């Protein structure tokens, strides 16, 4: 039977892993972790380890397993892009430290608490998940408006009460009105009506983990507000993927068909009608096959409520809308004139709609190459 590793052995390997972080862009995380476990070493000696009162070794091992392990040029590019987007939105509300990109997966965002002795004051590592590998060949600027959706998740975690305070009263009002419509029902009909409202509430009630339909629609609205037609283009590319079920129901993400309705509802208020034709056509096609179950779970009143609450959040946080960065085709196509941020996403969308794929790919490679070289000179 193999020997089970001891607590001291675990900490030897953890100390080596944490020490290795000091030679990476994650050195600040390593410094925090080192400050957590070093008090348990008597005189800094591993063999004289004082066992903590909780499973600190497992907590640190779990965190290390969720951190990025590749720190190439794309890592630097994406880390800078995250901060640039947030700065464009509102330069007076920068993201806190320890925001890192991680590749190999899908677009996403997660918060990783750093293990500490003081459980009430745990620093947070904010991880932005990117599709593809840590390779500049996998950078697709036309898809990067999705990063705005993930930055929105981060921002609303920082202001966790803001969206619920805007949406919950609207939700309660809609549920109350729908309840009144069924007040005359009796027997089974009344039972089913109540069950339907309870299920609707389950999907739409804001939660701390943001895993609900209302929060996800809010992220779409914030991304649309900030990136305009570039987000429309990225969203359309996503929903036109092969074998994607646009009616799929899950507790976390609303079906794409519902998200489409929310985005189309928002477009007129952001002067985006002229760019929404393809999405409008897709929505019209989907409406012919709309399941009754979905129509009951996502009535128009709730979609409007989520959109309006999303707009309210943008105004409260003073997020700049996309028109501030749109040069309307007047910007230079020279790669030397571009910077990371919303304006670059809008320019990429515009160039792709004006030229063929080959010319666009050449333009994109040149822009990315110049930006990566600029990032390298500032490090």
**One pLDDT digit (tens) per residue for the chain, 379 residues:** 444 455 566 777 888 888 899 889 999 999 888 887 777 665 555 555 566 656 777 888 889 999 999 999 999 999 999 999 999 999 999 898 889 999 988 999 999 998 876 666 778 999 999 999 999 999 999 999 999 999 999 999 999 999 999 999 999 999 988 877 655 554 444 444 566 788 999 999 999 999 999 999 999 999 999 999 999 999 999 999 888 999 999 999 999 999 999 999 999 999 999 999 999 999 999 999 989 889 899 999 999 999 999 999 999 999 999 999 987 654 445 556 789 999 999 999 999 999 999 999 999 999 999 999 999 887 6
**Euclidean distance between CA atoms 363 and 354, whole angstroms:** 12
**Euclidean distance between CA atoms 47 and 84, whole angstroms:** 45
Residue pair 306/213 in contact (Cβ under 8 Å)? The answer is yes
Query: What pLDDT score does 17 carry?
Result: 87
Query: What pLDDT score does 51 carry?
Result: 63
Question: Beta strand 99-102 with 108-113: parallel, antiparallel or unpaired?
Answer: unpaired
Q: How many CB atoms lie within 10 A of CB 149?
A: 24
User: Which are the contacts of 312, defined by CB distance < 8 A and separation ≥ 6?
Assistant: 166
- Sign of the torsion formed by the C-alpha atoms of 31, 159, 65 and 106: negative
Query: What pLDDT score does 178 carry?
Result: 84
CA 138 to chain centre: 19
Query: What pLDDT score does 125 carry?
Result: 94
Which sequence spans correspond to the domains of the chain?
7-139, 159-316, 325-378
Query: What pLDDT score does 188 carry?
Result: 41
Query: What pLDDT score does 50 carry?
Result: 60
Query: What pLDDT score does 3 carry?
Result: 46
R_g of the chain, CA atoms, integer Å: 24
Query: What pLDDT score does 377 carry?
Result: 85
Query: What pLDDT score does 49 carry?
Result: 57
Query: What pLDDT score does 123 carry?
Result: 87
Query: What pLDDT score does 59 carry?
Result: 83
């Amino acid at each position: 039977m193999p020997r089970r590793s001891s607590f001291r052995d675990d900490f030897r390997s953890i100390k080596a892993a944490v020490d290795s972080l000091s030679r990476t862009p994650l050195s600040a995380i390593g410094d925090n972790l080192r400050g957590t476990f070093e008090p348990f070493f008597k005189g800094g000696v591993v063999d004289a380890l004082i066992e903590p009162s909780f499973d600190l070794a497992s907590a640190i091992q779990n965190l290390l397993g969720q951190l990025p392990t590749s720190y190439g040029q794309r890592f630097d590019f994406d880390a800078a892009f995250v901060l640039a987007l947030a700065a464009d939105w509102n330069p007076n509300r920068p993201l806190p430290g320890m925001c890192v990109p991680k590749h190999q997966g899908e677009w996403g965002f997660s918060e990783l608490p750093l293990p500490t002795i003081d459980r009430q004051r745990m620093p947070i590592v904010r991880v932005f998940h990117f599709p593809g590998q840590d390779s500049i060949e996998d950078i697709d600027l036309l898809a990067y408006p999705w990063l705005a959706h993930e930055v929105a998740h981060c921002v609303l975690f920082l202001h966790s009460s803001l969206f619920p305070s805007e949406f919950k009263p609207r939700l309660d009002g809609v549920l109350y009105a729908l309840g009144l419509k069924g007040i005359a029902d009796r027997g089974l009909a009344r039972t089913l009506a109540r069950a339907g409202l309870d299920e609707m509430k389950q999907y739409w009630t804001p939660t701390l983990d943001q895993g609900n339909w209302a929060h996800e629609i809010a992220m779409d609205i914030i991304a649309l507000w900030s990136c305009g037609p570039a987000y429309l283009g990225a969203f359309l590319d996503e929903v036109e993927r092969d074998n994607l079920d646009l009616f799929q129901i899950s507790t976390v993400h609303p079906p794409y068909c519902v998200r489409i309705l929310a985005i189309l509802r928002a477009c007129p208020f952001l002067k985006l009608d002229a760019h929404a034709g393809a999405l409008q056509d897709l929505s019209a096609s989907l409406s012919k096959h709309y399941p009754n179950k979905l129509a009951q779970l996502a009535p128009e009143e709730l979609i409007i409520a989520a959109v309006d609450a999303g707009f309210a959040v943008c105004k409260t946080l003073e997020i700049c809308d996309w028109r501030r960065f749109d040069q309307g085709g007047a910007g230079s196509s020279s790669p030397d004139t571009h910077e990371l941020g919303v304006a670059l996403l809008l320019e990429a969308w515009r160039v792709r709609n004006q030229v063929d794929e080959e010319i666009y790919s050449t333009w994109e490679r040149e822009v990315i190459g110049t930006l990566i070289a600029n990032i390298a000179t500032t490090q």
